[in-house]
Amino acid sequence: MKPIDRIASLGASVIGGVVSLGAYARLCALVVTRLPRVLRRPSLVSSQVHFLGNYSLLIVLISGLFVGLVLGLQGYYTLRRYGSEEALGLLVALSLVRELGPVVTALLFAGRAGTSLTAEIGLMKAGEQLAALEAMAVNPVERILGPRFVGGLVAMPLLAALFSAMGVLGGWLVGVVLIGVDAGAFWSQMSEGVDFWKDIVNGVVKSAVFGFAVTSIALYMGYSCRPTPEGVSKATTATVVAGSLAVLGLDFVLTALMFSAD
Amino acid sequence: MAFEFKAIPLPQRVLFWSLWQRHDRPLATILPMSSPATAPPARNPNALRFDGVRFGYGSRPIVDRLSLDVYRGELLAIMGGSGVGKTTLLRLMSGLVEPSHGSIEIFGEPLQTTDQESLYAIRKRIGLLFQFGALFTDLSCFENVAFPLREHANLSEGILRDLVLLKLEAVGLRGAANLMPSEVSGGMARRVALARAIALDPELILYDEPFAGLDPISLGVTARLIRRLNDALGATSIVVTHDVAETFAIADRVAVLAPSDSGARLVALGSPQELRQSSDPYVKQFLAGDESGPVRFHMSAAPIEDDFT
């Protein structure tokens, strides 16, 4: 390939990226402006909360438990060097509520619920179901994308909270039950060190932002994919890649904004 | 005492529904049910008008300067070779794509409007049968047909059930009400999709290849069903198809599209009898199914020896 062709190819990629970003922003704006109409039909939203949340519950709970078990072990080994084993509860809780809960849940959510959303919308597009909705004077953004968007937005913070709760349980199992850290110190340090507004609310805000990012990316990828088996397959992969990167990037930005005053 | 829709005899129920649906229209438009299918179409006001419509996907032209009037109450068939742009024409008619030039009017109202509410108001008067049905795969056949009614008509469950079963009965698939789309054949799925397309008693029904892949019995039954629905509903129907024999048996007029470098063009428009007597070489080739004629079966390529030496 000639150098000039490479430059042209690079330029085309950049333009394509900007166009996709614009289309994504436009779809997000369309979905958000349609939310009042979407919320008028709570049954559609609740079925999506069930689909996205309930079906991701098992993997989130099990992952939360194992992350808590590992955190308990690693935290104990590190804190023991400084004779601060009693702070294990605080370490486990802060790690989970501030970071691991929202981030790991969002990554799992992208893999479990995000991919299914993209594949579902993509296959609806390939099967002309979205066109059929339009032809029946039913807005697909309102009827299909909107409820799924709200479902993801509601399900993510709930899943992250359950992940953190299971993680704390895992930390307690390892630290208190298996290793023998004092249970009173474990819980009292945790309750005194974790601030409701600064830690828990910020964690909830983070998980809601991640829910927005992952769900909107999954919907966009499905809605804009080429209506072929290959197109749906590529879109599903792109959901995991773009969703995971967005979560990690946003996590850095949010952490810098939320905890910079510490 | 609660109103019992089921207490009304079946024919009256259908009439009741038609009246209820069309209470804002003159009675004459409600009761053309007994008009014979063979009667020539009266030149009623236009149901649809294409005026110099051009359309293309990117730089590829599909439709070139198409002007066409479709009259209320008639059954128009649009014929042409594969890939000529017939399905695109239906998508233009339903507003799913917009022409680059020219205008489209449905029932005297422009289809190209920036106002989504107006566009949706027009679409509620149109039923579109997709080539492969486009049924919602997560809903049963019953729920697929009920879908437009649930979305647009505020009906009680009892009335909705009766209407859906009547629509399914009209396409001969009341027995498949509880089956999922994956549990019925392709032809049956298309008939369920037809029941869904007529769920709101549309004034304009668009059929995309309704005969493709049907066995001879289903083909004949479907063709007669399309004619019967058109007359019973007092609707206007546009059928995109390749099937000459069945189409000529039911259509009032037939439009033939031919490909050209600048997109599909209308080369013939008339009654089936007029088209049979047409001297246009494309029409003659298409109706006779000849290999020789203005349309080549083989795509242009280098001599065959070049590929096999």
Extract the tokens encoding A227.
Answer: 């209506």
Q: If you search the block for the tokens 């069309």, which residue do you land on?
A: B22
Chain B environment of A134 (Cβ under 8 Å): 96, 123
Q: How confident is the model over A98-104, as a mean pLDDT? A: 95
Could you tell me the CA-to-CA distances from A7 to A1, A4, A12, A19, B301 in Å, in that order?
A: 10, 5, 9, 18, 34
CA angle B141, B146, B148 (to 5 degrees): 120
Candidates A129, A137, A139; nearest CB to B124: A137
Rounded Cα–Cα distance for residues B80 and B257 (Å): 5
φ, ψ of residue B270 in degrees (nearest 5)? 175, -175
In sequence order, the 6+-apart residues with CB closer than 8 A to the CB of B299 are none
User: 10 Å Cβ neighbour count for A34?
Assistant: 17
Chain B environment of A135 (Cβ under 8 Å): 94, 96, 123, 126, 128, 130
Element spanning B204, H or E: strand B204-208
Q: Do B152 and A137 touch (CB under 8 A)?
A: yes
Element spanning A156, H or E: helix A146-172
* A-B contacts (CB, under 8 Å): 44
Q: How confident is the model over A66-86, as a mean pLDDT? A: 93
Search chain A and give the residue with CA nearest B91.
Answer: A135
Q: Do A132 and B152 touch (CB under 8 A)?
A: no
Candidates A127, A128, A137; nearest CB to B120: A137
Extract the tokens encoding A214.
Answer: 């992952």
- Across A130-139, A174-183, B14-23, least confident range: B14-23
Rounded Cα–Cα distance for residues B191 and B17 (Å): 21
Search chain B and give the residue with CA nearest A41.
Answer: B151
Rounded Cα–Cα distance for residues B277 and B286 (Å): 13
DSSP string, A108-121: HHIIIIIHHHHHHH
Question: Residue B70's beta-bridge partner residues?
Answer: B48
Could you tell me the CA-to-CA distances from A202 to A1, A97, B133, B136 in Å, in that order?
A: 50, 9, 48, 40
Q: If you search the block for the tokens 């499905």, which residue do you land on?
A: A222
Q: Report the sign of the C-alpha dihedral through residues A123, A126, A128, A133, in that order.
A: positive
Extract the tokens encoding A17.
Answer: 């990226």
**How many angstroms separate the CA of residue B202 from the nearest CA in chain A?**
10
Candidates A127, A129, A136; nearest CB to B151: A136
DSSP letter at B264 equals B
Search chain A and give the residue with CA nearest B145.
Answer: A136
**How many angstroms separate the CA of residue B39 from the nearest CA in chain A?**
30
Element spanning A124, H or E: helix A115-126
Q: Do B148 and A129 touch (CB under 8 A)?
A: no
Of B186, B230, B175, which is closest to residue B210 (Cα–Cα)? B186
Search chain B and give the residue with CA nearest A123.
Answer: B137
DSSP letter at B266 equals E
Search chain B and give the residue with CA nearest A137.
Answer: B120
Per residue in A145-177, pLDDT (tens digit) is 999 999 999 999 999 999 999 999 999 999 999
% chain A with pLDDT above 70: 99
Candidates A127, A128, A137; nearest CB to B123: A137
**How many angstroms separate the CA of residue B123 from the nearest CA in chain A?**
6
Chain B environment of A33 (Cβ under 8 Å): none
Candidates A128, A139, A143; nearest CB to B130: A128
Percentages helix, strand, coil for chain B (3-state, rounded to 5) are 40, 20, 40
Q: Do A128 and B94 touch (CB under 8 A)?
A: no
Successive 10-residue mean pLDDT values, chain B, 309 residues: 49 49 39 39 73 88 90 92 86 90 89 82 91 91 95 90 92 91 90 92 92 83 89 91 88 90 86 88 82 72 83
Task: Tell me what ipTM this predicted complex has.
Answer: 0.80
Is B78 in a helix, a strand, or coil? strand
**How many angstroms separate the CA of residue B236 from the nearest CA in chain A?**
17
User: 10 Å Cβ neighbour count for A72?
Assistant: 29
Q: Do B120 and A139 touch (CB under 8 A)?
A: yes
Candidates B128, B132, B137; nearest CB to A135: B128
The predicted model scores a pTM of 0.84
pLDDT number for residue B8:
52
Rounded Cα–Cα distance for residues A61 and A74 (Å): 20
Confirm if B122 and B206 have CB atoms less than 8 A apart. Answer: no
**How many angstroms separate the CA of residue B219 from the nearest CA in chain A?**
23
Question: Residue A206's beta-bridge partner residues?
Answer: none
Query: Chain A: which residues have CB within 8 Å of chain B?
Result: 127-129, 131-132, 134-139, 143
Question: Residue A84's beta-bridge partner residues?
Answer: none
**How many angstroms separate the CA of residue B142 from the nearest CA in chain A?**
16
CA angle A203, A206, A207 (to 5 degrees): 90
Q: Do A138 and B137 touch (CB under 8 A)?
A: no
Classify burial at A251, counting beta carbons within 10 Å of its beta carbon; exposed 0-12, middle 13-18, buried 19 or more.
Answer: middle
Of B118, B128, B117, B60, which is closest to residue B92 (Cα–Cα)? B128
pLDDT at A106 over 90: yes
Chain A environment of B196 (Cβ under 8 Å): 136
Q: How confident is the model over A78-98, as a mean pLDDT? A: 92
Question: Residue B53's beta-bridge partner residues?
Answer: B66
pLDDT number for residue A105:
96
pLDDT number for residue B294:
74
In sequence order, the 6+-apart residues with CB closer than 8 A to the CB of B282 are B256, B258, B267, B268, B293, B294, B295
Confirm if B101 and B66 have CB atoms less than 8 A apart. Answer: no
Could you tell me the CA-to-CA distances from A10 to A15, A21, A238 in Å, in that order?
A: 9, 16, 20
Is the pLDDT higher at B214 or at A17?
Answer: A17
Q: Do B134 and A139 touch (CB under 8 A)?
A: no
Is B267 in a helix, a strand, or coil? strand
| Mutation target among A130, A133, A136 for the B interface, most CBs of B within 10 A | A136
pLDDT number for residue A262:
60
Q: Do A134 and B151 touch (CB under 8 A)?
A: no
pLDDT number for residue B23:
40
**How many angstroms separate the CA of residue A105 from the nearest CA in chain B?**
28
Number of helical (H) and strand (E) elements in chain B, helices listed first: 12, 10
